[in-house]
Amino acid sequence: MIRFSELVSALSPTQYAELALVLFVLVFVGVAFRHGGKRRATEHAEAAQLPLADDTGWVSKGARR
């Protein structure tokens, strides 16, 4: 079995950049998939109204004070 240090030392700078890009794309797709869609439409609509809400007495359904 190859050791992690041997694997890392064998990578070139180009391969590090490619690995970082692949990891970024995977995380981006995961976040977009998790927060996109119709399931969270009501939550996003509530969050969109937060800057317009008065500071007195308005609390979101899931928020605690």
Question: What's the whole-model pTM score?
Answer: 0.56
pLDDT at 56: 60
Q: Mean pLDDT, to the nearest integer, of 38-51?
A: 85
Instruction: Report yes or no: 46 and 60 within 8 Å, Cβ to Cβ.
Output: yes
Alpha carbon separation from 50 to 3, 4, 27, 39, 40 (Å, rounded):
50, 47, 27, 19, 16
Q: How many Å apart are CA 38 and CA 44, to the nearest integer?
A: 10
pLDDT at 44: 86
pLDDT at residue 27 in the model? 97
Residue ranges per structural domain of the chain: 11-36
The overall average pLDDT reported for the chain is 83
Buried-state track 25-40, b at ≥16 Cβ within 10 A, e below 16: eeeeeeeeeeeeeeee
